Amino acid sequence: MCPAEELLEKCRAAGMRITPQRRAIFDVLEGNITHPTAEEVFRAVRRRFRGVSLATVYNTLETLHGLGELGRHRIDDGADRFDPEVRPHHHFRCTRCGQVIDAFGELRLPALAELASCRVERAELVLSGECPACLKSLPSPKSKRKPQQSQGEHP
């Protein structure tokens, strides 16, 4: 997303009224790297403005997306996630804790050679696995082994 004052001007130019609730939505999104869903943005804004409606949040997110100021991604099988980082990038989603991590850089996969005759306008890769924090919390491979039984023992 662009800086706050520039964003406000773009929204006004698009016909959006700038209300305190919408400013709160901008505040929740600014610098947010968690890729929140609309419902998560709604809950965060609702802490400040009890009367904010889910429709206001959805409409504001859609307007920001339409202005190119907010990315909308389907990272998993759940709801769309919104990302104020609009530069081209890919995502990694931890299958244990759900954290989403941005990954910047060129996508180089051998399978893309098959698309050489196509004009690719946008590419996004979503990888899934376990993040470093979850990997650290896993038991060591030695503790996963079952103790061997001696020859005289029966299960």
Average pLDDT, the chain: 83
Q: Topology of domain 1-86, per CATH? A: Arc Repressor Mutant, subunit A (1.10.10)
Residue 141 has what pLDDT? 61
pLDDT over 70, % of the chain: 85
Q: Which CATH architecture has domain 87-135?
A: 2-Layer Sandwich (3.30)
How many CB atoms within 10 Å of residue 24?
Answer: 21
Q: Are 35 and 83 in contact (CB under 8 A)?
A: yes
Q: Confidence band (pLDDT; 50, 70, 90) for 155? A: very low
Q: What's the CA gap between 96 and 41, in Å, rounded?
A: 22
- For residue 152, pLDDT beyond 90: no
Q: Global pTM?
A: 0.72
Instruction: Assess whether pLDDT exceeds 90 at residue 7.
Output: no
pLDDT for res 5: 78
Taking the CB of residue 1, how many other CB atoms lie within 10 A of it?
A: 21
Chain segment 22-79, per-residue pLDDT in tens: 999 999 998 899 999 999 999 999 999 898 999 999 999 999 999 999 999 888 777 8
Residue 40, pLDDT score:
94
Could you state, in order of their start, the residue ranges of all structural domains in the chain?
Answer: 1-86, 87-135
Report the alpha-carbon distance of residue 146 to residue 16 in Å, rounded: 62
CA atoms within 13 Å, Cβ hemisphere of 133: 9
Q: pLDDT, tens digit, for every residue of 100-138? A: 888 887 766 666 667 778 887 777 778 889 989 999 987
Under the banding of pLDDT at 50, 70 and 90, the label for residue 6 is confident
